[in-house]
Amino acid sequence: MGIRIRGTGMHVPEHVVDNHRLSLVMDTSDEWVQQRTGIVTRRFGAAGEATSDVAVPAARQALAEAGVAPTDVGYVVFATMTPDYYFPGAGAILSNKLGLGHAPCLDIRQQCAGFLFGLQVSNALLQSEVAPNVLLVGAEVHAGFMPWEWDIVLGESDRQVTPERYAWNTRFRDRCVLFGDGAGAVVLTPGDEPDRGLLDVFLHTDGTLWDKMWTPAAGSAYRPYVAHEMIESGDIVPIVEGREVFRTAVTYMPEAVQEILRRNGLALDDVRLLVMHQANLRINEAVQKRLGLPDDRVYNNIQKYGNTTAATIPMAFHEARRARDLKEGDLVCFVALGSGLSWGAALYRM
């Protein structure tokens, strides 16, 4: 049976932060950020607005479109790298806020590739008839690891930061300009047409590259698990080896697209739309060029939202369904690369 996406939803926090606001707290500019990333604005949650809070409206929208009541959700798969707490996972907290009853909740930690891993897990759950439907969520609130003066960034104050703080913030500009907060959700159910729905998910992980994207703070590798020195040193901010990640992404992502098409007897000409993880517009442009796809067969929204990690693909797909007027029978390819290092692709026929 073909697993179908019956409903989609997305949500972003209300605070819009443009590149100019970031230039007030670090050595950057709108030109610098756009040239390197393509990002113009991003959204950030308010103080106390956690990942599960951002996920709630997206999940409700997807459930409403699918015609599934919260009490009828069979399983929750929640992908995030920024859970509300160390434990429990964000899935259980989302379940409580949505009133899902006793539906089992599974949290997965594949970061930028999390939604693709969630698709594969959801497919297995549905194919094995463990649940009648799955609520798959990708959501992030990255604001917590940003080393900023939030009153300035959110436009609540135009005070000047001290030279020391300005220099401190600038240490992290290559990463901190990338991220935004948001959530995307889909409801998956079994379908009765084997040639439609989720056709395939093909994934890889190369653990030898685990330290190309990681956060060197908090965890069982340390005694104690977390210490104030980790904050003072800036180790809570993720490390992204930009050049290595760029080179790997523009190699592995096109290969993943071609690989999954070959194993399903399909070609690039069959793909109506490519939806990539929104990590950096320059990466996506390079992938598009390698594949030789025209603009109308690729969808990007990183310009508005930044990198929302596990939420990028469901958010982009939610918008692309309408913006690109996707119709029944159209073939959509999802592709992503994230920390771990994990990457892969999925094929979905509308």
Separation of alpha carbons 192 and 333, rounded Å: 21
pLDDT of residue 148: 87
Q: Please report the sign of the dihedral spanned by the C-alpha atoms of residue 187, residue 192, residue 196, residue 200.
A: positive
* Tokens 């320059």 -> residue: 282
How buried is residue 265: exposed, middle or buried, by Cβ count under 10 Å (0-12/13-18/19+)?
exposed
Separation of alpha carbons 339 and 214, rounded Å: 7
Catalytic, 277? Answer yes
Supply φ then ψ for residue 240, to 5 degrees. -130, 115
Angle between helix 281-291 and helix 30-37 axes, rounded to 10 deg: 30
**pTM for the complete prediction?**
0.97
**Sequential DSSP letters for 10-25:** EE--SEEEEHHHHHTT
Residue 8 · residue 184 · CB < 8 Å: yes
pLDDT of residue 195: 87
Alpha carbon separation from 25 to 42, 164, 267, 311, 333 (Å, rounded): 16, 11, 47, 27, 39
Catalytic residue among 19, 169, 307, 333: 307
Catalytic, 112? Answer yes
> Rounded to an integer, what is the distance from CA 212 to the centroid of its chain?
18
Catalytic residue among 112, 123, 133, 300: 112
Catalytic residue among 11, 15, 142, 277: 277
Q: Which segments of the chain have a pLDDT < 70?
A: 1
- The domains found in the chain, sorted by start residue, are 3-190 (3.40.47.10), 197-349 (3.40.47.10)
Quick check: bond before 88 cis, omega within 30? yes
pLDDT of residue 193: 85
pLDDT of residue 275: 98
